[in-house]
Amino acid sequence: MNSWKVVIAGLLLGGTLGTSARASDATPEFTALAVRPSYSLGAPVLVRLTLTNNAQPAGYEAPFFVLIPRLTFGPQLPDWPYLQVAFSVTGPDGRPVLPTLLAPYKLAEPQITQFSELHAGDFFGRTVDLSAQWVGFSFPTPGKYVVKATLSTGARRWLNEWLKGKGNRKSGLPFSQEHVWGGTLAAAPFDIVVTK
């Protein structure tokens, strides 16, 4: 059975992000965990998301780069340059919890100056309320819910297209192209316990 997902393309402004020295050295890690061990029925269900550059510092380590995160809703887009978080939730009965979404909205075209960096050992974290209207999940019955989260970005593909539009001129690019992280990371599934 297909799980329904809600996509948060980015996580709002307010942090630093990045990938390590070369693509082969990049060791980003994405984790997602419940903020509390349990939640009362009807209470906000908070999840902590963290992206970490796990490269081991050995002298100078070049950072990895990602776009400063933004928040949008809608289907997961393969060439979307901002960070996207997709959630799927399974209820206590083993069935997918279907999110209710607001209409998606469009973001302005990204700018090169919006990329931020994570050096070895740095992390970016954000707390998300899964029960908020813009995320759309409800937790209507007590029990254990299983949550899966995936982080992805098409920033590298977007940057390649941006460079083509500039005639592949890399002058003015404030970082090395191969340091831009692109791809998908899955966090380990975790439980949300809802009590009466």
Instruction: Answer whether residue 189 is part of any domain.
Output: yes
pLDDT in tens, 83-124: 778 889 999 999 999 887 655 545 666 777 777 787 778 888
Q: What is the pLDDT of residue 146?
A: 97
DSSP string, the chain: -PPP-EEEES--SS------SSTTT--EEEEEEESSS-EETTS--EEEEEEEE-PPP-SS---EEEEPP----SS--TT--S-EEEEEEE-TTSSBPPP--PPP-PPPPP-GGGEEEE-TT-EEEEEEETTSTTT-----SSEEEEEEEEEEE-HHHHHHHHHHHTTT--TT-SS-GGGB--EEEEPPPEEEEEE-
Instruction: Answer whether residue 147 is part of any domain.
Output: yes
Domain that holds residue 104: 6-195
Instruction: Answer whether residue 1 is part of any domain.
Output: no
pLDDT in tens, 141-180: 999 999 999 888 888 888 888 888 776 666 667 777 778 8
User: In terms of pLDDT, which residue wins out, 142 or 28?
Assistant: 142
> What total number of domains does the chain contain?
1
Q: What's the whole-model pTM score?
A: 0.77
Instruction: Answer whether residue 159 is part of any domain.
Output: yes
Q: What is the CATH number of the domain that holds 167?
A: 2.60.40.2970
Instruction: Answer whether residue 72 is part of any domain.
Output: yes
